Structure 1
Amino acid sequence: MSDPILSTTATDADFVYVDTADARTVARLRRELARWLETQVTLDAEKLNDILLAVNEALTNVAEFAYRGRQGMMGLQVRCDRADGTLIVDVTDRGTWRHVDPASQPNTRGRGIPLMRALSDRTTIARTPHGTHVQMEFADCAHVRAEELASA
């Protein structure tokens, strides 16, 4: 089985980070992803914010729940399918899934996965004994080519 931290090879991904699963890393990765998206993908402000919020929710879930007080790693990979303009985001960890009964949650918690599903065009969550892999797809994301950046 492939390493759940890196769900695709680096040559397949346009943006790849693996780092410690904590709140600081979540904030830094969100900023780095925002910069990358702004320079590499043509998005309107609403789509950019939707992607950043959905990714933030997935990363936050790893930082808060995957390792339950232990240190661990999380991976973030983003690639743009140039053929159809789909942005594919993978968030991975080596932790364990924590099932929580929604009825036992306060009203202020438990909205991350519904948000990811609402903001993306497709979200899949694979839970394995080796970690969790969240994949989100966002349609209508035009990829900026290097020659377009050079002429700008």
Structure 2
Amino acid sequence: MPAAAESRHHSDVADAVSVGRMREEFSRWLRQFGLAPDRHADLVLAVNEALANTAEFAYRRHRKPGAVTLTVRCDPANDSLTVTVTDEGAWREPSDDGNPQLRGRGIPLMEALADEVVIDSSPTGTTVRMRFDQVSNPSSAMA
């Protein structure tokens, strides 16, 4: 883990291409932690779920997608990463459409993969904050 707290901040349009690019950039940045492949994949999957939800749902009532912001904060003192995904769109309430096998697994997946998930929604947007603990790899040497 980097010796000092580090933050990364990226905003882009909330569409499939942009959030895919944000996910890939996050994955590349995350490699510095030397996580086991499964742990790395878990973090990327959880972040992808939050980004994909924004791209799919936040701006569905708008003519074109608005912004999504990905902020990552590294906290070496607590051996954790906090990832925040923010939009200025509308929250989509979970619906019981009679077919739970097709939808609605993103939030439970984020909750299973992260050590803490907090979702705040308001008329001005939604913020998903995920904390991941034990992100350092003691066997990896710092460059």
Tell me the TM-score range normalised by the shorter chain.
0.7 to 0.9
CA distance in 2, matches of 1:119, 1:102: 24
Secondary structure of the residue that 2:128 maps to in structure 1? strand
Alignment match, 2:136: 142
Is 2:57 the partner of 1:65? Answer: yes
Contact in 2 for aligned 1:92/1:131 (Cα 8 Å):
yes
Contact in 2 for aligned 1:66/1:95 (Cα 8 Å):
yes
Alignment match, 2:70: 76
CA distance in 1, matches of 2:58, 2:80: 28
Alignment match, 2:108: 114
Please report how far the alpha carbon of residue 109 of structure 1 lies from its aligned counterpart in structure 2 after TM superposition. 1.2
Please report how far the alpha carbon of residue 106 of structure 1 lies from its aligned counterpart in structure 2 after TM superposition. 4.7
| TM-score normalised by the chain length of structure 2 | 0.87
Please report how far the alpha carbon of residue 131 of structure 1 lies from its aligned counterpart in structure 2 after TM superposition. 0.5
**Ranges in structure 2 where 5+ consecutive residues have no aligned partner:** none
Secondary structure of the residue that 1:127 maps to in structure 2? strand
Contact in 2 for aligned 1:85/1:143 (Cα 8 Å):
no
Alignment match, 1:45: 37
Contact in 2 for aligned 1:43/1:141 (Cα 8 Å):
yes
Is 2:99 the partner of 1:99? Answer: no
Q: 2:84 aligns with which of 83, 90, 96?
A: 90
Aligned pair count reads 135
Report percent identity of matched pairs: 45
Structure 1 residues 20, 30: CA separation in 2 closer, same or farther (over 3 Å shift)? same
Contact in 1 for aligned 2:73/2:83 (Cα 8 Å):
yes
Q: What is the CA RMSD across the aligned residues, in angstroms?
A: 2.0
CA distance in 2, matches of 1:20, 1:110: 23
CA distance in 2, matches of 1:104, 1:13: 44
| TM-score normalised by the chain length of structure 1 | 0.82
What amino acid sits opposite 1:111 in the alignment?
Answer: R
Contact in 2 for aligned 1:120/1:137 (Cα 8 Å):
yes
Q: 1:24 aligns with which of 17, 27, 30?
A: 17
Secondary structure of the residue that 2:48 maps to in structure 1? helix
